[in-house]
A and B are shown apart, each in its own frame.
Chain A
Amino acid sequence: MLHEPAVELGVDYASKKKTRLGLILFFVYAAIYAVFVIIGLSYTHLMGVKVIAGLNLAVVYGMGLIILAIVMGYIYSLICTHMEDKMEKEAKQ
């Protein structure tokens, strides 16, 4: 399959900051995911508690994890783009 790079990448001035941001967001999400796993594993009765709009915690938390992934991904992208623009500008100056 022709899976090849489309273009060569330029210098990435923001790489260290982006890596750190990625690590922070990863640990935040992993912690929220871990709480979900712990509740599912040992406090299963809590999963049946109705939380909002007649939906229980299991459904709300599960869908919440999916939506949170999208939101955090969007925030990550916004901040990374901002960092790249700013540091590229600084490097050129």
Chain B
Amino acid sequence: MIYDVSIWAIVIFLLFVAAVLGLSFYFGAKTKSAAGYYAAGGNIHWGVNGVAFAGDYLSAASFLGISGMIAYAGYDGFIYSIGYLAGWVVALFLVAEPLKRLGKYTFTDALDARFNSRAIKLTAAISTLIVSIFYLIPQMVGAGDLVVPLLGLPHWAGVLIVGAIVIYIVATAGMTSTTFVQFIKGALLITFATILTGYILNNGFSLKPTEDYHQFTEIPASLHEGQVVAIDSEQFALKGQVKKGDDIFVVLTDGAYDTWFRLAAKHTEQPILTEALSITLTAAGERLYNGAPKAEERFFQVGHMSKIVYKGEEVEETGPLGPFEFLSVLEDSEVVIFKRTLFDYEGDRVTVFYQEPTPGTAVLKPGLLLKVGADASLWDKVNFLSLMLALFFGTSALPHILIRYYTVPSQRAARKSTIVAIAAIGFFYILTLYLGLGSMVGGVNDLESSNMSSPLLAKSFGVGIFSIISAIAFATVLGTVSGLIVASSGAIAHDFVDKYLKVPMTDMQKVRAGKLAAFGVGIFAIVLGILFKGMNVSFLVGLAFAVAASANLPSILAVIFWEKTTSRGIAASIITGILSSVIIILLSPSMFERYGLLPSQAPIPFDNPGIISIPLSFAVVIVVSLVTQKKN
């Protein structure tokens, strides 16, 4: 899509990003001495520290991805919120305290505490690198999406800007993610999400979500033997049609442009064609939006209701609603969901987004995106179970989350901080339901990317709140990406080259190796961020959780709870977890679509690997540990 760019939005955005970055550098410089950092760490209130945890955890992916997914698929997006938060319970009850009692401060140190094994150092470094990269992809995709409506730049430019800034920061000064900066980011994110939710509730529902909302065309059609043979329109002429499953998609022309329609009511006396949106990749390689090049701006934002039932009556609008009332009115009403389908037509590859009026009851329960219930196939059910498993076990296996737990002064303060974090994150995740549903019916969704629903909704409320929310999300991306690149380069330069290969290096050479590694990972992240454009970032984070849970969690739990665990068992489990999860992801339907192939051609019929890779990794740590008992 092409958006109107506001100078004020850019000015507020730049000021806000500069302020957050400035604070980061200021506190980073102040805390470069270990003593200063320790003193600050020891004195920081557990409440502040708890919100900082939340700031660390609520990456742009949480904010952009989940609310975006809810905006397109209703409750199925909220399932991610539930799963992400449930994961904190695993971290708090099972992992954090025992790991802290091992007296070690990083995930690798803790795994290696009993063994001092080179194999563990190597595999843990590989795991840190792979998980960080999987986590980097959604951050970069989110960054790219953010700049499109804000600065009017293409997606790749956003990815490049973030990549370049972060590489510069990491390779020159280094960026310290201090408790105080994370506190500010976390608090701002939650505050502005609350304000945005206030706007949504205050506006209530309306059949006409925005003043300039697109009026969708409906055209009566005549059918013969399942084919559209004539239409009742002075504006359009019938050009062609495609049958896909039970659906018929019809392309009409007004002389200048082609527009796709879907045969919506084919079993009634009067069949109706309803207007759809389309993106066509022509045989010549040109990309057309609703039949025209992007610059002609024929693609538009969508999201509306087809029926509003308020206090038992059908109404045009509701006025302000309470938080529970908002959900119950939506449940009684009808929302138009835009479904996506892909087919080939006369050598062109056509993606059509068609209207599907959906009862609110279906929007507010699982099933629009994740196939469940009686209609679901075995593989659909496996996919759902796998996702729920990965979300539940993923949080406690993310190295950068575990590390945060160790920065507080006592176990008591750590627990209190964690509970504040769970409360803050939980509150935010409940808000994502309102942000997502508000976007779903707010006429703001960009069908090219599900990640921008919340910022675009904010834009419909005003330039100020839009630019502030975009700036917070952008600054969060910068912070998260910096942290991940530092962790990745550390895994390569420190864990692998220095500790595992034992390459003799001076301090200067070590620093240079770290910077080179950061540069390499940064470039790699930019490329991946561009390649994965258009994918929902929360879906991508879900995959990162699956890889982390498969590679790390079985080893962590084995070290904590099973005395017979051996170093070989741990190393084998980590490698098995990484390989099995990454291979399943690469052969999954979503990735096949990314390769430009049809999802149905994928050899693995589900997207999320957790249900296979997590138990497999558990089995390997047990079997290999038992087999290698004597050798230890």
Q: Would A69 and B88 count as touching, CB distance under 8 A?
A: yes
Residues of B in contact with A, size category: 35 or more
CB distance from A23 to the nearest CB of B (A): 7
From residue A15, how far is it (CB to closest CB) to chain B in Å? 6
Q: Within the assembled complex, what's the spacing in Å between the Cα atoms of A2 and B327?
A: 44
A6 to B407, CA, bound (A): 6
Among the stretches B229-237, B272-280, B358-366, the one at the interface with A is B358-366
Alpha-carbon distance A84/B374, docked complex (angstroms):
50
Which residues of A are found within 8 Å of B177, using beta-carbon distances? 1
CB distance from B607 to the nearest CB of A (A): 16
The answer to whether B587 has its CB under 8 Å from any CB of chain A is no
* Interface pair B89/A29, CB less than 8 Å apart: yes
Residue of A nearest to B376 (CB): A41
- Does chain A have a CB within 8 A of B343? no
B605 touches A (CB below 8 Å) = no
Known A59-B327, A73-B92; judge A3-B404 contact (CB<8 A). yes
* Nearest residue, chain B, Cβ from A29: B89
Q: Does B295 contact A (CB under 8 A)?
A: no
- Which among A7, A40, A45, A54 is the interface contact of B324 at CB below 8 angstroms? A54
Nearest CB of A to B524, in Å: 20
Q: Does A9 contact B (CB under 8 A)?
A: yes
Tell me whether B101 and A15 are in contact (CB under 8 A): yes
1/0 contact string of A25-68 vs chain B (CB within 8 Å): 11001100100110011111101101001111111001101110
Interchain CB contact under 8 A, B486 and A1: yes
- B300 vs chain A, min Cβ distance (A): 31
Residue contact A4 to B324, C-beta cutoff 8 Å: no
Q: A12–B388 Cα gap in the complex (Å)?
A: 34
Q: Is B510 in contact with chain A by the CB < 8 A criterion?
A: no
> Using a CB-CB cutoff of 8 Å, which residues 476-518 of chain B contact chain A?
483, 486-487
Q: Which of A9, A18, A42, A48 contacts B103 (CB 8 A)?
A: A9
Closest to A24 in B: B93
Most chain B CB inside 10 Å of its own CB: which residue of A41, A42, A65, A72: A41
Nearest B-chain residue to A53, judged by Cβ? B324
Main secondary structure of the interface of A (DSSP, over half): helix
Q: How far is the CB of A7 from chain B (nearest CB, A)?
A: 5
List of B residues within 8 angstroms of A73 by Cβ = 88-89, 92, 415, 418-419, 422
Chain B interface, DSSP helix/strand/loop, else mixed: helix
Check A59–B364 contact: CB distance below 8 A. Answer: yes
**Which of B34-42, B252-260, B345-353, B613-621 has 4 or more CB atoms under 8 Å from chain A?**
B34-42
A26 to B553, CA, bound (A): 15
Contacts A1-B177, A41-B384, A58-B365 given; indicate if A76 touches B93 (C-beta within 8 A). yes
Say yes or no: B409 contacts A22, CB within 8 Å.
Answer: no
Chain A contact patch, size range: 35 or more
B85 touches A66 (CB 8 A): yes
Give complex CA distance A18, B94 in Å: 10
Among B5-13, B74-82, B198-206, B526-534, the stretch that binds chain A is B74-82
A53 to B406 CA separation, bound complex (whole angstroms): 42
CB pair B92 A47 closer than 8 Å: no
Q: Which of B34, B89, B94 has the most CB of A within 10 A?
A: B89
Contact among B79, B86, B373 with A42 in the assembled complex (CB-CB below 8 Å): B373
Name A84's closest neighbour in chain B (CB-CB). B412
* B407–A4 touching, CB < 8 Å: yes
Residue of chain B at shortest CB distance from A22:
B93
Contact between B412 and A55, CB atoms less than 8 A apart? no
Q: Which residues of B contact A63 (CB under 8 A)?
A: 430
- Bound Cα distance A82, B101 (Å): 18
Q: How far is A80 from B324 in the complex, measured between Cα atoms in Å?
A: 35
Q: A1-B177, A3-B404 are in contact. Are A26 and B93 (CB under 8 A)?
A: yes
Docked complex Cα distance between A63 and B328 (Å): 14
Q: Looking at the complex, which one of B31, B86, B178, B328 makes contact with A29 (CB distance below 8 Å)? A: B86
Looking at A2, A19, A44, A72, which has the most chain B CB atoms within 10 Å of its CB? A2
B264, chain A: closest CB distance, angstroms: 24
| Closest B residue, CB atoms, query A66 | B426
Q: Contacting B419 at CB < 8 Å: which of A41, A56, A70?
A: A70
Check: B411 CB closer than 8 A to any chain A CB: yes
Are the CB atoms of B38 and A7 closer together than 8 Å? yes
**A7 adjacent to B429 (CB under 8 Å):** no
Q: Which 10 A-B pairs have the closest CB atoms?
A: A54-B328, A6-B41, A44-B373, A47-B365, A22-B93, A26-B93, A58-B365, A6-B409, A66-B426, A77-B415
30 residue pairs of the A-B complex, CB under 8 angstroms, read A1-B177, A2-B178, A3-B403, A3-B404, A4-B41, A4-B407, A6-B408, A7-B38, A9-B100, A9-B103, A15-B98, A22-B94, A23-B93, A30-B392, A37-B388, A42-B373, A43-B373, A44-B365, A44-B367, A44-B372, A50-B331, A54-B331, A55-B327, A58-B365, A59-B433, A65-B85, A73-B415, A76-B415, A80-B411, A84-B411
Give A residues with C-beta under 8 Å from B.
1-7, 9, 12, 15, 18-19, 22-23, 25-26, 29-30, 33, 36-37, 40-45, 47-48, 50, 53-59, 62-63, 65-67, 69-70, 72-74, 76-77, 80-81, 84
